Amino acid sequence: GLKEKGVRFYFGPFNFEKIAEAELIVMSPGVSSFRFPEFKKLEQFNREVVSEIELAFRFLKGKLICVTGTNGKSTTATLVHNLFSTAGRKSFLLGNIGVPFVSQVENIRRDEYAVVEVSCFQLEHAKSFKPDYVILTNISADHLDRYPSMKSYVETRKNIFKNITSEDKIILNFDDPLTRRYFPALPCKRPEVLRGLPDGQLYWFSRSSEVHRGVFVRGNNFMFRDKEEIIFFKSSELPLIGLHMVENALAACLVPILEGIEIGLIQKGLKSFQGLKHRIEFVTHFAGVDFINDSKATNVDAVLKAVMSLNSTSQRIVIIMGGKDKGGDFSLLKPVLTDKVKLVVLIGEAASKICTQLNGAVRIKKARSMQEAVRISFEEAKPQGIVLLSPGCASFDMFNSFEHRGELFKEEVLRLKKDMTEGEVWT
């Protein structure tokens, strides 16, 4: 194994002197240099600290497509990969979505694509990292338990742009107010240019405005505009729920369009895409109630998008929220919860904080377990309603991951369905 190749292992408490013996330090995204300022001193010892994506990039031969942003990264990256695969072009889906970039980089040829979901954690130690395409899905408050300020969080995410040249392409969300605030467009009639960035080729995606250069929605049509306009898809044919899914689809389509993939193949890829597990995932329907798993909603903005994506005029949406707080401001949910939600059921460490910040906006109940949360929610959602798991928090207080949380939710829903089918009586 690795020991036979001369690899040395060290297990134990944090030891800066031991780490400083290495010439190159590759940081795990889970280790925060904000919490360990000692890492900033390593350069004094002529030691280089890089992220895993930086290390992988140094060996990449193919084209690099990066998707970053607060929400929608996984769906957008997966859809880009699906569009390339449907068109017969070899691509690798890597990064924050689950498969380390560095584990596959040697297998990627010059005519192939690395589609990499990039988190802000991975960008903390990016040095020469330079994508051919950057998609920034949106920006909202997140990870404020790790970063000292919103400005610090945004500046870290902006690292993805620092090596961009005029040959590379930047794709931004025209509808996202914080994206337009932190990356403002100059008021001009020529293609938009970003202040503070190299004069790269900038494209926008929008579901509400007809952008000068990029993709947008007009009526029932997805439009692409650059030197000319083309219709490339009917929005009614998109097999995904929610306005945010329209945004993800628009963003993802720009890359294959700019890479010259035929419109018919892009249409085929869009129609075949079924979305991701734990992201507005329909679980089942029984006793008049729909159950939806959105366990991947780990921040406030994701909860907002989830609720807005559901069509309900019956005031019968019940949301299960809570978990490990990431510094979110849950009071931002008050208007939409008052308008659309009957009850919020709270679990986990953040329950008390959420309860305080939502006070007066919506009815609230607390549950001690996922089983109890599911059963309370079902009783409140009957006879015609929706139970939505959209926590707005990390999962690590009660679960191993957001996937574990989502799977347990589905298990409890199906157990409840079985109990109801068999006529079990419970209170």
Q: Which spans in 216-358 are helix H? A: 243-258, 263-272, 300-309, 334-340, 351-357
Give me the residue label for tokens 């794709």.
171
**Cα angle at 267 between 200 and 201, to 5 degrees?**
5
What's the rounded mean pLDDT across residues 136-149? 77
Contact 342, 317 (CB under 8 A): yes
Query: How distant is the alpha carbon of residue 79 from its chain centre?
Result: 13
Residue 12 lies in a domain: no
Residue 348 and residue 220 share a domain: no
Name the pLDDT band for 95 (thresholds 50, 70, 90). Answer: very high
Q: What pLDDT was estimated at residue 426?
A: 43
Residue 101 lies in a domain: yes
Residue 16 lies in a domain: no
User: Tens digits of per-residue pLDDT, 260-279?
Assistant: 999 999 999 999 887 778 88
Greatest Cα pair distance, the chain, in angstroms, is 70
Does residue 180 carry a pLDDT above 80? no
Domain count, the chain: 2
Which of 251, 272, 293 is the last residue before a domain boundary? 272
Name the pLDDT band for 348 (thresholds 50, 70, 90). Answer: very high
Contact 379, 367 (CB under 8 A): no
Tokens of 81: 């990969």
Residue 219 and residue 202 share a domain: yes
Residue 18 lies in a domain: no
For residues 228 and 200, which has the higher predicted lDDT (pLDDT)? 228
Does residue 214 carry a pLDDT above 90? yes
Name the pLDDT band for 185 (thresholds 50, 70, 90). Answer: very low
Contact 332, 308 (CB under 8 A): no
Contact 217, 235 (CB under 8 A): yes
What's the rounded mean pLDDT across residues 28-45? 71
Amino acid type, 427: T
Residue 13 lies in a domain: no
Q: What pLDDT was estimated at residue 23?
A: 82
Residue 366 and residue 248 share a domain: no
Stretch among 140-154, 261-275, 386-400 having the lowest mean pLDDT: 140-154
Q: What pLDDT was estimated at residue 187?
A: 34
Does residue 197 carry a pLDDT above 60? no
For residues 137 and 421, which has the higher predicted lDDT (pLDDT)? 137
The residue count of the chain comes to: 427
Does residue 67 carry a pLDDT above 50? yes
Does residue 361 carry a pLDDT above 90? yes
Contact 92, 115 (CB under 8 A): yes
Q: What pLDDT was estimated at residue 143?
A: 63
Q: What is the DSSP letter of 189?
A: S
Q: What pLDDT was estimated at residue 423?
A: 62
Residue 370: CATH number of its domain: 3.90.190.20
Contact 183, 177 (CB under 8 A): no
Residue 366 belongs to what domain range?
281-418
Which of 272, 302, 334 is the last residue before a domain boundary? 272
Residue 262: CATH number of its domain: 3.40.1190.10
Residue 287 and residue 245 share a domain: no
Which residues, 6+ apart, have CB-to-CB distance to 138 below 8 Å? 69, 70, 71, 72, 173, 176, 178, 179, 247, 301
Residue 125 lies in a domain: yes
Name the pLDDT band for 144 (thresholds 50, 70, 90). Answer: low
Q: What pLDDT was estimated at residue 159?
A: 87
Residue 397 lies in a domain: yes
Q: What pLDDT was estimated at residue 301?
A: 86
Name the pLDDT band for 71 (thresholds 50, 70, 90). Answer: confident
Which residues, 6+ apart, have CB-to-CB distance to 167 below 8 Å? 132, 200, 201
d(CA 294, CA 161): 30
Q: What pLDDT was estimated at residue 372?
A: 97
What's the rounded mean pLDDT across residues 42-46? 69
Tokens of 291: 């159950």
Residue 37 lies in a domain: no
Does residue 198 carry a pLDDT above 70? no
Residue 205 and residue 86 share a domain: yes
Residue 211 and residue 97 share a domain: yes
For residues 396 and 180, which has the higher predicted lDDT (pLDDT)? 396
Residue 332 and residue 228 share a domain: no
Give me the residue label for tokens 């193919």.
62
Q: Specify the 3-state DSSP secondary structure of 153.
A: helix
User: Tens digits of per-residue pLDDT, 277-321?
Assistant: 888 888 999 999 999 999 999 999 889 888 988 865 555 899 999
Residue 172 and residue 64 share a domain: yes
> What integer best gives the mean pLDDT of the chain?
87
- Give the residue among 84, 116, 90 at the shortest CA–CA distance from 103: 116
Other Cβ atoms closer than 10 A to 133: 23
Residue 292 and residue 268 share a domain: no
Q: What pLDDT was estimated at residue 35?
A: 66
Residue 286 and residue 268 share a domain: no
Beta pairing class for 229-234 and 221-225: antiparallel
Residue 289 and residue 262 share a domain: no
Residue 306 and residue 157 share a domain: no
Which of 213, 240, 272 is the last residue before a domain boundary? 272
Percent of the chain whose pLDDT exceeds 90? 55
Other Cβ atoms closer than 10 A to 210: 13
For residues 329 and 141, which has the higher predicted lDDT (pLDDT)? 329
